């Protein structure tokens, strides 16, 4: 099963995600703030059969079903010749220490690439230089 997530309301998006602005009372309060969520932020692929894995990949598909990254997104060629990249604003994940329990503590934030690789955070969210592969 594949789910596409992002701020775009175009048909390829299954779940539309929007920023929240502290103190805003309505959507009109947030109109002037630039979004930190990419139009086609990420894809999540879930297996319905054992071992029931879920994988997350940055970026997404445009209306032609091609992978889409913005002009300002960091892109590079991997050692095996494949293209990889990061969304302009990044797709960040954090796995809590002690798992998902009452004793959970925040873990380390990581960034996910188009190919599903995991990196340490960039110096800034939109920096062209990727973090170290984890």
CATH number assigned to the domain comprising residue 1: 2.60.200.20
Q: Tell me which residue range forms the domain holding 129.
A: 71-133
**Whether residue 82 is found in the same domain as residue 101:** yes
- pTM metric for this prediction: 0.76
Q: Please provide the average confidence, as pLDDT, over all residues in the chain.
A: 84
Q: Indicate the pLDDT class of residue 99, thresholds 50, 70 and 90.
A: confident
Residue 21, in any domain of the structure? no
Question: Based on the structure, what is the number of domains in the chain?
Answer: 2
Cα–chain center distance at 8: 13
User: What gap in Å lies between CA 55 and CA 62, rounded to an integer?
Assistant: 19
Q: How confident is the model over 6-29, as a mean pLDDT?
A: 75
Tell me, yes or no, whether 48 lies in a domain.
Answer: yes
| 87: nearest Cα among 56, 108, 64 | 56
Count of beta carbons in the 10 Å neighbourhood of residue 83: 12
- For residue range 34-56, list pLDDT tens digits in order: 677 777 788 899 999 999 999 99
- The pLDDT value given to residue 27: 57
Q: Is 112 among the domain residues?
A: yes
* Structure confidence by residue, pLDDT tens digits, 62-82: 667 677 777 778 889 999 998
Q: Quick check: 109 and 94 in contact, CB under 8 A? A: yes
Q: Is residue 41 part of a domain?
A: yes
pLDDT at 80: 92
- Identify whether 46 is part of a domain: yes
As a whole number of angstroms, the distance between CA 119 and CA 63 comes to 28
Q: Is residue 6 part of a domain?
A: yes
- Tell me, yes or no, whether 118 lies in a domain: yes
pLDDT value for 26: 61
Tell me: do 8 and 41 sit in the same domain: yes
Residue, of 125 and 21, whose pLDDT is higher: 125
């Amino acid at each position: 099963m594949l789910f596409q997530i992002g701020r775009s309301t175009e048909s390829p998006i299954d779940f539309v995600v929007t920023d929240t602005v502290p103190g805003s009372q309505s959507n009109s309060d947030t109109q002037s703030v630039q979004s930190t969520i990419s139009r086609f932020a990420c894809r999540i692929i879930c297996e319905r059969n054992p071992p029931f894995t879920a994988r997350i990949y940055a970026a997404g598909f445009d209306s032609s079903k091609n992978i889409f990254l913005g002009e300002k997104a960091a892109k590079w060629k991997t050692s095996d010749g494949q293209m990889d990249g990061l969304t302009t604003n990044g797709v960040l994940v954090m796995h809590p220490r002690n798992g998902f329990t009452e004793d959970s503590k925040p873990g380390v934030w990581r960034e996910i690439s188009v190919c599903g690789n995991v990196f340490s955070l960039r110096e800034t969210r939109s920096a062209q230089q990727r973090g170290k592969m984890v």
